Structure 1
């Protein structure tokens, strides 16, 4: 009896174990063919970079348009901020005034540091003037663009008028020749005298209206050439605003360093008294205020923090902006990413840092190799699918957002 009971229990255990094993295998990833690569389709995505206004002011120039490719440091927009400019100029003047008072106290002390300071201040002054000239030219870009368009319209009109005048002149010449050939309808007898023989008709003079039409077209061509040259010069100046602003900042910083070296030299010599120390303190304080004002003024020249594709331009020339408002939205194209969804029972086939081959079905010769940068479940449920993000380099901008690609997990 006991033996029969044991046999029955053993049979039940076998049945239950077989059922549990079947359930476990059914809920686990397929073991067969795990060496075969996992290939999935995905859509290329790119991180968005929103470029904000660093200062309050009026938009004087928007240097990009939607669809443009930009590089890091490229000019995006230029804001005219009179308050920041006035504050920077006042701060620079305060530095110069404080330095003059200190120099007056130190008269008769020429040194290498003093010469260095003089050169640095001259370079800073030149840089400020160059930036102001470029800004003045940059302000003329919208007006000159309209002027070029008007000059082109005037040239087209003058060209049409000249063609009409030439047609009228040709028609008049043909009529004159026809009248001369018929002798005005009256037959003339020849006298037989060679001296009275009829001479060949002379070339017809250019009519005044044709001469005037030619003159107007030439004047229109010259006006268009001048306008285009002025526009090119203004656009070149506008494109240099970011570099010139950096130069102003760098030269002013160099002048501050030269002043600091000179002050340290005087202090090391142990000469001077409390009055000189007070003036040195005034110079340092003025320099700190000027450096802060220059940093704020630089924010009026908006540049791209990273390269990418201009997806959206939110402002236009003439618009008033507050600090922090969005100007453009870029899509960073290097690196880019693609995301796929994996079932819970397939997640153990991939892992972070795993290499992934990427190809483009529409272009066989374009491929790249990336790696898994992130993977996380969509919810806390054990059966929840996972989102896997693959990041890959894109130095030649071959993979644009929205492109369909194939991902092969190695």
Structure 2
């Protein structure tokens, strides 16, 4: 059985039959007939937005709920022949990354003729040597692909210039378009119209919607509502950037300070009202989120940013939330419209609480998940062979050696 806690807008009335439309405290999420089918497989990842929710399992299979206002809806298995490695649900789209390095997607901005049909968007990259995908991120009507050659491509809508090009010259693209080279990570959000790209030198670049200073460019550039070319973000907090997640009008960055054992800290920028930034005013550049809930001997294990709310999980098992709570998506037991300052959320006893590091958060548009997922490592040699076999220009082979127990070094 999977351990999944859910709270927020109830878009699963068939599963939560006796629950209200707004579930304000964390309750157990259980698939229908879970003990009788493939859903019993251990959960690996959950991704949710206004388009739907995808549950990815350790066996490489995934099921999805589409938000079609159908009270009798059942989860449907995603029909992809390859093993699924990662899923990312955005605003009006979904993206899937397979173990073989292919990226599939569907949605209004991907396939207008059939929004529910997955197509292989990695095969649409013009450079055939750049079609092995390492990571995917779905945003607001756009999808970003990071290739094995460390190049980033964007596909979909270019409103606000979130694909890194002037909107008047490129309103949308049905094929992935090269945005930037030498990129190590891509960051966006399930409803975000802005994106961040981190290069190998830990230099951060961003583009897209900056209406509420959600790109963190500083007060001098707060009047620029659209950043249509990739621009370097200055005054980044010291330390290693671990992750950046974005909502509609705000962004939160996780920084690891290796000089403090290491210590992880969160920084936010953007629009304070409804979203919550740990502050009661706008922040035009990334500013540390401070709270007495972040103890010196505690650390941040995971965090998730939804459209308008935020959740944090600490090594001491604290669940902390702030932002919009209109549908109970903070799990505080009420629907108070917004919570500006970080607040600790009461959790039921967790079945695996002796290993809190295996718990993960996923915030959707107006709902939240806390779930247990064991870390796993794939067979690296097998994976590399499959990837390199697809590169026509590359001839490479692997050899293995069996070591005898009595062999000396």
TM-score grouping bracket, smaller chain normalisation: under 0.3
Name the structure with the higher strand share: 2
Larger radius of gyration: 1
Query: TM-score if structure 1 supplies the norm length?
Result: 0.17
Query: TM-score if structure 2 supplies the norm length?
Result: 0.17
Name the structure with the higher helix share: 1
